[in-house]
């Protein structure tokens, strides 16, 4: 088996742990923040190097990256493959920008050491495809927000209940599969248990209460890094997609579409900016699971592209709201705040990130959403129509939030609300990725197409046969923006 040129993946996993140890013993929050910024930046570089190094090999195969673990277990514990390659830098940039944009007024509430531990677990999670490894890392990751809630003496009941049920279902379902072995079709009980755990972690309706509870009581930064990488979707692709029968995948699609409509309806009537962001993200992220049932290269490619789009765009939107909260406190969306004249750059970044998440032309979300709609429409006009409706309502919700936050009156203040250098850098970086991905979408779509083919191959080995399949060129030829 080929190996990576350098052990970038193990570096990306270990660097945050080193940074966490260093920041844990620091008493000055500002110094701890600087160390955390450096550690997360180096992790981003290592994750990006692993991504580029993987595709430079031009083989599109899984590659081992931790020789010691492979020597001890004779198993590829951590790997970079078609699915995980771009998810690693996406997750790393989410953590890096969250730490970078943390204001001094919030530094005492936001634990940099535990955030770096969470980053290390996230890097390991998105580079693991062993079922027991994914399950263990998901359970460990769920403990980080719980520690923060307890440290801040906030209610933990709703979050703890959902995470405990998730852990029990994951372990129970996988134990049944392991006991069953390769004898016949997977057990119905095991499939339902794993499905339930994935739906809880994804926050679908009515299992979303832990998300609204967390965004209400935890720091906003912790909520962003918990939600936007979408670890629940990763568990769905690794644990459920390879074994679930068609009826189970159709059930996930129905639940996801219901969640998308319900969540955007809730986003339209929210008064608090954090809950507004939570429901908006929940609606958008539910569309990623819609691609599970498509079982076609185009539908699955669209789902994987939407995953990257939502991860970047919604992170930017959440960080902008977080920066505004650091200046004006929690934002009430029943009032008009008129912040445009003080932070016009934030208004522009809000529009770009928000509209990119709903497929605005010229952004990374345009081709992603079009592929998803095209792929879902092949299965039925109703599914594609619901995806379009949910996206349109999300766009209305985003503009509703924009008008209430940035327009409506003259905001009077005795202190400057101007954006800081670190914030401008963070948002310009995100906007650049969003715009460049929209102008030149083919590289990301091509890699997601290969990932879709590989996922379908695990589910149906006959995908290699020369049957009529959607090809990468057909994807772009069907896209009006590239004719």
- pLDDT tens sequence across 211-229: 999 999 999 999 999 999 9
**Burial classification of residue 75, based on how many CB atoms lie within 10 Å of its CB (0-12 exposed, 13-18 middle, 19 or more buried):** exposed
**Can you give the pLDDT at residue 461?**
59
Lowest mean pLDDT among 80-94, 103-117, 397-411: 103-117
Tokens of 322: 């977080």
In terms of Cα–Cα distance, which of 72, 188, 187, 87 is closest to 134? 87
Going from the C-alpha of 287 to that of each of 127, 253, 373, the distances in angstroms are 23, 9, 10
Average pLDDT, the chain: 84
For 295-355, the three-class secondary structure string (H helix, E strand, C coil) is CCHHHHHHHHHHHHHHHHHHHHHHHHHHHHHHHHCCCECCCCCCCCCCCHHHHHHHHHHHH
Q: If phi over 0 gives left and psi between -120 and 50 gives alpha, with beta otherwise, what is residue 253?
A: alpha
Mean pLDDT of 8-17: 89
Residue 466 has pLDDT above 50, yes or no: no
**Can you give the pLDDT at residue 295?**
65
Residue 468 has pLDDT above 50, yes or no: no
Determine which helix (DSSP H) or strand (DSSP E) holds 254, and give its type and residue range.
Answer: helix 246-268
**Can you give the pLDDT at residue 162?**
94
Going from the C-alpha of 43 to that of each of 50, 100, 293, 294, 445, the distances in angstroms are 10, 13, 34, 34, 24
**Can you give the pLDDT at residue 293?**
66
424, 345 Cβ separation under 8 angstroms: yes
Return all residues near 165 (Cβ < 8 A) that are at least 6 apart: 196, 197, 200
**Burial classification of residue 329, based on how many CB atoms lie within 10 Å of its CB (0-12 exposed, 13-18 middle, 19 or more buried):** exposed
Angle between helices 344-357 and 364-377 (to 10 degrees): 20
Question: DSSP alpha helices (H): ranges in 440-469?
Answer: 442-459
Q: pLDDT tens digits, residue range 133-180?
A: 999 999 999 999 999 999 988 988 899 999 999 999 999 999 998 888
Residue with tokens 């934030």: 346
Determine which helix (DSSP H) or strand (DSSP E) holds 63, and give its type and residue range.
Answer: strand 63-64
Residue 414 has pLDDT above 90, yes or no: no
Lowest mean pLDDT among 199-203, 402-406, 450-454: 450-454
Residue 3 has pLDDT above 90, yes or no: no
Return all residues near 439 (Cβ < 8 A) that are at least 6 apart: 362
Mean pLDDT of 234-261: 88
In terms of Cα–Cα distance, which of 119, 104, 114, 118 is closest to 28? 104
Going from the C-alpha of 323 to that of each of 106, 331, 332, 422, 427, the distances in angstroms are 10, 11, 15, 11, 11
**Can you give the pLDDT at residue 179?**
86
In terms of Cα–Cα distance, which of 86, 461, 471, 76 is closest to 242? 461
Q: Rounded to whole angstroms, how far apart are CA atoms 215 and 145? A: 10
Pseudo-torsion of CA 5, 45, 9, 431, nearest 10°?
-120
In terms of Cα–Cα distance, which of 105, 106, 95, 100 is closest to 423? 100
In terms of Cα–Cα distance, which of 12, 20, 230, 45 is closest to 124? 12
**Can you give the pLDDT at residue 78?**
79
Can you give the length of the chain in residues?
483
In this structure, the strands spanning 63-64 and 79-80 are antiparallel
Q: Rounded to whole angstroms, how far apart are CA atoms 247 and 253? A: 10
Mean pLDDT of 62-77: 52
123, 92 Cβ separation under 8 angstroms: yes
| Displacement of CA 388 from its chain's centroid (Å) | 21
Lowest mean pLDDT among 178-182, 249-253, 460-464: 460-464
| pLDDT band, residue 356 (cuts 50/70/90) | very high
Note if the bond before 206 is cis, omega within 30 degrees: yes
Q: Rounded to whole angstroms, how far apart are CA atoms 355 and 301? A: 21
**Can you give the pLDDT at residue 477?**
53
Q: Rounded to whole angstroms, how far apart are CA atoms 259 and 288? A: 12
Residue 378 has pLDDT above 70, yes or no: yes
Residue with tokens 């969470």: 118
Q: pLDDT tens digits, residue range 72-104?
A: 555 667 788 888 889 999 999 999 999 998 887
DSSP class per residue in 151-165: HTT---HHHHHHHHH
Bridge-partner residues for 272, per DSSP? 332
In terms of Cα–Cα distance, which of 65, 56, 128 is closest to 443? 56
More confident residue, 105 or 60: 105
């Amino acid at each position: 088996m080929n190996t990576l040129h350098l052990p970038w993946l193990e570096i990306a996993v270990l660097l945050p742990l080193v940074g966490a140890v260093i920041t844990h013993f620091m008493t000055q929050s500002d110094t701890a923040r600087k160390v955390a910024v450096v550690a997360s930046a180096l992790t981003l570089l290592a994750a990006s190097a692993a991504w580029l190094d993987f595709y430079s090999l031009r083989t599109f195969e899984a590659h081992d990256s931790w020789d010691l673990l492979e020597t001890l277990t004779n198993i590829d514990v951590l790997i970079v493959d078609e699915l995980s390659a771009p998810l690693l830098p996406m997750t790393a940039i989410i953590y890096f920008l969250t730490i970078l944009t943390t204001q001094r007024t919030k530094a005492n509430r936001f634990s940099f050491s535990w955030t770096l531990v969470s980053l290390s677990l996230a890097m390991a999670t998105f580079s693991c495809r062993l079922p027991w490894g994914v399950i263990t890392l998901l359970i460990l990751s769920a403990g980080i927000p719980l520690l923060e809630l307890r440290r801040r003496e906030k209610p933990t009941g709703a979050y703890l209940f959902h995470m405990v049920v998730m852990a029990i279902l994951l372990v129970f379902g996988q134990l049944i599969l392991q006991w069953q072995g390769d004898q016949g079709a997977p057990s119905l009980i095991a499939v339902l248990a794993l499905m339930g755990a994935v739906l809880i972690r994804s926050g679908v309706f009515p299992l979303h209460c832990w998300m609204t509870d967390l965004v209400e009581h935890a720091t906003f930064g912790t909520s962003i890094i918990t939600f936007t990488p979408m670890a629940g979707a990763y568990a769905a692709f690794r644990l459920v997609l390879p074994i679930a029968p068609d009826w189970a995948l159709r059930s996930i699609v129905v639940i996801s579409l219901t969640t998308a409509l319900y969540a955007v309806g809730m986003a339209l009537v929210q008064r608090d900016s954090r809950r507004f962001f939570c429901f908006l993200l929940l609606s958008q992220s539910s569309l990623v699971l819609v691609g599970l049932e498509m079982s076609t290269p185009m539908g699955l490619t669209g789902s994987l592209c939407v995953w990257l789009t939502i991860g970047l765009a919604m992170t930017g939107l959440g960080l902008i709201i977080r920066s505004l909260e650091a200046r004006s406190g929690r934002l009430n969306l029943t009032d008009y705040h008129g912040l445009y004249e003080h932070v016009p750059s934030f208004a522009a970044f809000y529009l770009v990130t928000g509209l990119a998440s709903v497929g605005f032309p010229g952004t990374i979300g345009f081709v992603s959403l079009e592929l998803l709609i095209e792929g879902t429409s092949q299965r039925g006009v109703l599914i594609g129509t619901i995806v379009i409706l949910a996206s349109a309502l999300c766009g209305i919700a985003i503009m509703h939030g924009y008008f209430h936050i940035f327009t409506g009156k003259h905001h009077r203040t005795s202190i400057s609300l101007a954006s800081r250098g670190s914030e401008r850098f963070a948002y310009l970086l995100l906007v650049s990725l969003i715009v460049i991905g929209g102008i030149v979408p083919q590289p990301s779509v091509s890699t997601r197409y290969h990932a879709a083919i590989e996922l379908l191959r695990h589910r149906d080995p006959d995908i290699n046969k020369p049957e009529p399949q959607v090809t990468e060129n057909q994807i772009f030829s069907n896209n009006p923006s590239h004719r």
